[in-house]
Chains A and B, each alone.
Chain A
Amino acid sequence: MTIPTQLVLRALLAEPTQEMYGLQICAQSGLPSGTIHPILARLEHDFGWLTSRWEDIDPGTEGRPRRRYYRLTDDGAELARIALAHATTSVNTLGLRIRPAGGMA
């Protein structure tokens, strides 16, 4: 799992029941705006971890387009936690195998 995907999942898991739109997720994850849609599409379409819905407004009345809100499904949140734990473990394992140059005396 890539680092940006982990950051997006951590942002969504910060409050799993809260719906967030694209720029909110960018701000929460620290990723630049406009970079998360491939990740969101993958998590929603490919893996089914996310659900999304349109903001409940009338664009004509509000004078702006509707936002798209994303939320982790219950199963998605559980799988995301497992995936993040696995990713963290992998990184730790990788870190243990890498020893500083010079080695043992």
Chain B
Amino acid sequence: MRATSAGHCPRCGIQVRADDLICLRCGANLPHTFASGPPDPWADSAAAEILLRPERDPMSALSCPNCGGEVERHDDFCEHCGNELTRDPLPDPSETEILRAREPDDEVLPAPEQEDENSVVRPTSERGGHDSPPHRPCRPRRPASKVARAAVWFLPAEYQVRYAEEYLSELWDLAESGAGICGQLRYSLCQLVRTVPVRLTLLSPRRRGVLP
């Protein structure tokens, strides 16, 4: 039996197991110095069972290639950094399957998506209780992020990535300032309502120097 915890993720600082290949929180590749030897996914019976299982859950965890944050398979943009996501899955699907094999009994690191949507978002330091991981700000609530992303769909294609990140950054600021789900949704709905004038402005010819 391997040790259940033997190090910390070099990117986000969360505690990881000795035989983890990638960090369950941020998706960073982990150095294999935690393990006594090279990781062998087939030595773990649970991982081997999942690897051999033919069906795959469409909601399996993916990570943003830009910031490493967790995203869903159908997301068009990363809700953490606004990066536009392609439809390609992870290059090595076996890594995703190993991740999923360990999630249900993982007491060390509950995934944010497993929390109740109505629960209070707490800083990571309160959730994990492990030795001083770096401070991570409050995340915006998922419904508010989805509405903000819906607002971006109406904008010209060349502006969608920019406004996705800008809207999400403001949602993060709202969440950090203590705004709840209602305040965040109000912000996102404002963006949705105002997306038509923004679109018309972005599509209109420039009128440099003219007084509005």
| A→B interface (CB under 8 Å) | 1, 5, 21-23, 32-35, 37-38, 41-43, 45-48, 54-55, 59-61, 63-68, 75, 79, 82-83, 86
Which residue of A41, A43, A66 contacts B202 across the interface (Cβ within 8 Å)?
A41
Listed A/B pairs (12) with beta-carbon separation below 8 Å = A21-B169, A35-B190, A37-B198, A38-B194, A41-B198, A41-B202, A45-B202, A46-B204, A54-B165, A60-B66, A64-B137, A67-B170
Q: A59-B67, A60-B66, A66-B169 are in contact. Are A83 and B211 (CB under 8 A)?
A: yes
New A-B pairs, 9, CB < 8 Å, besides A46-B206, A59-B67, A63-B80: A22-B170, A34-B186, A34-B190, A47-B207, A47-B208, A63-B12, A66-B165, A68-B165, A83-B212
Residues of the B chain whose Cβ atoms lie less than 8 Å from the Cβ of A5: 212
Q: Tell whether, in the assembled complex, residue B170 and residue A60 are in contact, meaning their CB atoms are under 8 Å apart.
A: no
Selected contact of B169 from candidates A42, A64, A75, CB within 8 Å: A64
A79 to B212, CA, bound (A): 10
Selected contact of A60 from candidates B68, B186, B207, CB within 8 Å: B68
| Residue B104, interface by CB 8 Å | no
Contact between chains at B169 and A68 (CB < 8 Å): yes
B206 pairs with A48, CB closer than 8 A = yes
A-B interface contact total, Cβ < 8 Å: 114
Chain B residues with a Cβ under 8 A of chain A? 11-12, 26, 66-69, 80-83, 136-137, 162-163, 165-166, 168-170, 172-174, 186-191, 194, 197-198, 201-202, 204, 206-212
Q: Closest 9 A-B residue pairs measured CB to CB?
A: A34-B190, A59-B81, A65-B169, A60-B67, A38-B197, A34-B187, A59-B67, A68-B166, A41-B201
Which residue of chain B has its CB nearest to the CB of A65? B169
Q: In the complex where A33-B187, A46-B207 touch, is A64 in contact with B172 (Cβ < 8 A)?
A: yes
Q: Is the CB of B194 within 8 A of A67?
A: no
Q: Do A42 and B190 touch (CB < 8 A)?
A: no
Question: Which residues of the partner chain A approach B206 to less than 8 Å between Cβ atoms?
Answer: 45-48
Contacts of A41 in B (CB 8 A): 198, 201-202
Q: In whole angstroms, what is the CA distance A64 to B186 when docked?
A: 20
**Is B81 a contact partner of A65 (Cβ separation < 8 A)?**
yes
A34-B170 Cα distance, complex, nearest whole Å: 9
A45 and B201 contact, CB distance less than 8 A: yes
CA distance A1 to B211 in the complex (A): 8
| CA gap between A13 and B172 in the complex, in Å | 26
Are A63 and B137 within 8 A (Cβ)?
yes
Distance of A87 Cα from B66 Cα, bound (Å): 45
Chain B contacts for A67, CB-based, 8 A: 166, 169-170, 173
Query: Is A64 touching B212 in the complex (CB atoms < 8 A)?
Result: no
In the bound complex, how far is the Cα of B174 from the Cα of A35, in angstroms?
14
Residue A35 contacts which of B166, B169, B194, B201 (CB distance < 8 angstroms)? B194
B173 CB contacts on chain A under 8 angstroms: 21, 23, 67
Q: How far is the CA of A83 from the CA of B166 in the complex (A)?
A: 28
A55 — which chain B residues lie within 8 A by C-beta? 169
